[in-house]
Structure 1
Amino acid sequence: MRNLIPGKEVPDLKVKTTKGIEYDLKNDSPENFTMLIFYRGLHCPVCKKYLEELNTKVDEFREKGVNVVCISSNSKELAEKTIQNWDVDNLDIGYGLGIEHGRKWDLYISEAIKEEEPDAFLEPALFLIRPDHTLYSASIQSMPFARPKFDELLKSIGFVLKEDYPARGGK
């Protein structure tokens, strides 16, 4: 059974960030959406490319009233290495989300198959959350690939806002 249903409230979410603050979804008050991006972690070259692309477009999301937060189950040390080694200086990077909490978000969990991977980690997902903390849209992956394209997402958000397009899939 799914935990997340469009139009329904999402689970609580609190994580520490590499900027030294605790991010709490309940306290986030975007103009239009919060975009939560769950990524696999420092070990993932696809995540690196994806977040580095987002880093160049985050201002466009903000102009559309979208707050952006990127989250992994990585430790503080690995999250800090992410900031040092990836070009993600414009992003808020949260870390330490527990595997069991990831399950509340319907995330897929993987076990390490390579030495550089954590024993267990979250697979990628992207959520758009309304200011009232209800789910608008979800893209949940079981692999590192097939993620939403940021340019297409920006166009879609523009359409959604212009047409007041409702959340779908709630039945």
Structure 2
Amino acid sequence: MQSNYAQKLQAGVKFPDMKVQILNGEMKTLGTPENGHDWKLVVIYRGQHCPICTKYLNQLETVKASFSDAGIDIIAVSGDSKAQLESHLEKLDIDFPIAYGLTIEQMESLGLYISDPRSEKETDHPFSEPAVFVVNADGEIQIVDISNAPFSRPELAALANGLSFIRENNYPIRGTHC
């Protein structure tokens, strides 16, 4: 059993400055909002080998308007290669940026759980388990959900509704008691 796990990112801290690449070659800063929004939803998924991730990303597409209405931009990223992402897009019906090539060092700096593939049928590289980060207009982590299992993730419609409440009521970052 490994004993030196990455430090988990805490609510209220600045989201790390991290660049990722999308399919057209453009580099995106992971936690920086775009498209006229001032908050960012960052979805980390396991990769194309995970049918639960495929379902989750397709569900995100169905509720993305709720995030947009709340001023929240979206990006998803995994450690998959460009070729793996291209293959995965055949199963995805999404219209938000999706990046590839998240490195182990980047996964560690985000405090993600990292798994080794069970076999070559699964994938050919270590991959992160799922996580969701919501980065506010100050670049701070408003919400953090880091999982070590593919079936433990926030329900997207509830998250969108909760974020609307947070934005409308100037609700503070929770979980910051020292």
TM-score using structure 2 length: 0.88
Give the Cα–Cα distance (whole angstroms) in 2 for the partners of residues 119 and 7 of structure 1.
Answer: 31
Deviation at 1:13, TM superposition (A): 1.3
Unmatched 5+ stretches in structure 2 = 1-5
| Runs of 4+ off more than 4 Å | none
Higher helix share: 1
Unmatched 5+ stretches in structure 1 = none
Deviation at 1:114, TM superposition (A): 2.8
The answer on 1:168 being equivalent to 2:160 is no
Aligned to 2:3: none
Aligned to 1:94: 99
2:42 to 36, 43, 56: 36
Identity among equivalent positions (%) equals 32
Task: Report the AA paired with residue 11 of structure 1.
Answer: P
The answer on 1:125 being equivalent to 2:135 is no
Task: Report the AA paired with residue 83 of structure 2.
Answer: E
The answer on 1:47 being equivalent to 2:33 is no
SS of 1:115's partner is coil
Deviation at 1:161, TM superposition (A): 1.2
Aligned pair in 2 of structure 1 residues 3, 80: CA closer, same or farther (>3 Å)?
Answer: same
Give the Cα–Cα distance (whole angstroms) in 1 for the partners of residues 32 and 139 of structure 2.
Answer: 10
Give the Cα–Cα distance (whole angstroms) in 2 for the partners of residues 26 and 113 of structure 1.
Answer: 31
Give the Cα–Cα distance (whole angstroms) in 2 for the partners of residues 164 and 129 of structure 1.
Answer: 14
Deviation at 1:26, TM superposition (A): 6.3
Aligned to 1:24: 29
Confirm or deny: 8 A CA contact 1:32 1:64 kept in the other structure.
no
Aligned pair in 2 of structure 1 residues 58, 165: CA closer, same or farther (>3 Å)?
Answer: same
Deviation string for 1:112-157 (max 9, x for gaps)? Answer: 1132223310110000001221111100010101110111011101
RMSD: 1.7
Further displaced range: 38-47 or 49-58:
49-58
Give the Cα–Cα distance (whole angstroms) in 1 for the partners of residues 25 and 55 of structure 2.
Answer: 24
